[in-house]
Amino acid sequence: MVHALEKVHRLLAPGGWLIDIHPTEQPPALEVRSGEQVTLAGWVHETDDYIEYAQASEALEAVRQRGLYDLEDARTFDFLTHAGSLSELLDHLSQEWKDAFIDERTAGKVEELLLSAEPDREVRIRETVNMARLRARRG
Amino acid sequence: MSVTLDPEQNEIEALMAMVPSWDGKRVFEVGCGNGRLSFRYAALAGEVEAIDPDEADIAAARSATPPELAGRVRFHAVRLEDFEPEASSPPFELALLSWSL
């Protein structure tokens, strides 16, 4: 990851900006919305992605310490993935997020919550994501 | 209902707040995937070079490129470590690591 940041620094003009987007280490929340009501059903588990997210943060800190970049701004935002059913969501995860899984107990709770009589209902994943702006120093 | 990603547009709103100016900037995006985020900001930038190692995603991004962005946004199926811009091209003014670090 440090190598990637070094390469990007080489490709950037002096004073150019680097915007990094990567998830926080917090596990993604699995929610069921039924009308206006949102219920936390559990969490999406990941095999080792959370380790990579921590390493990404450490790599950014390392290149700052080495004087390649200055941190100018940082914030978090919520990124939501919406699905009409648990099976749709599982299909999506199997194709796009292979390290993610939902345990049987949580899946059961999602199915139970989706049995609501409210026609406007969905299951969704809420990820908290880091975004940072860094400015490239002269090499 | 199909799966939808960030219909709230929280990601692009955060990105717009984070970048002080896009005007005419030469942008390098790493991890562009199928262009999901690229298409949301590219109209504000000068030109965009976007890379991702997944050839299927890059093919999808190319075919989904709106006509108004054609020629200003270029997608490349390549890893960061293998990517080199054309020798004659100026350096990038903004780099975006899109869930890729």
Per-residue model confidence as pLDDT tens for chain A (139 residues): 888 999 999 999 999 999 999 999 889 999 999 999 999 999 999 887 778 888 888 999 999 999 999 999 999 999 999 999 999 999 999 998 888 999 999 999 999 999 877 789 999 999 999 999 999 997 6
Provide the residue count of chain B: 101
pLDDT at site A2: 87
Burial class (CB in 10 A: 0-12, 13-18, 19+), B71: exposed
What residues does each domain of chain B span? 21-97
Please list every residue in chain B whose beta carbon sits closer than 8 Å to the beta carbon of residue A1.
Answer: 101
Q: What SS3 state is found at B14? A: helix
When scoring A6, A10, A20 by the number of chain B Cβ atoms within 10 A, the one with the most, hence best to mutate, is A20
Please list every residue in chain B whose beta carbon sits closer than 8 Å to the beta carbon of residue A89.
Answer: 3
**Residue A63, C-beta contacts closer than 8 angstroms, at least 6 positions apart:** A2, A5, A6, A9, A69
Instruction: Please tell me whether the interface predicted TM-score (ipTM) of this complex is above 0.90.
Output: yes
DSSP structure string for A51-91: HHHHHHHHHHHHHHHTTSEEEEEEEEEEEEEEESSHHHHHH
CB contact under 8 A, B28 and A11: yes
CB contact under 8 A, A88 and B90: no
d(C-alpha B91, C-alpha A72), whole Å? 21
Tell me which residues of chain B have a C-beta less than 8 Å from any C-beta of chain A: 1-8, 10-11, 13-15, 17-19, 28, 30, 80-81, 85, 90-101
d(C-alpha A120, C-alpha A123), whole Å? 11
User: What pTM did the predictor assign?
Assistant: 0.91
What residues does each domain of chain A span? 2-136
CATH of domain B21-97: 3.40.50.150
pLDDT at B101 over 80: no
Pairing of strands B73-77, B47-52: parallel
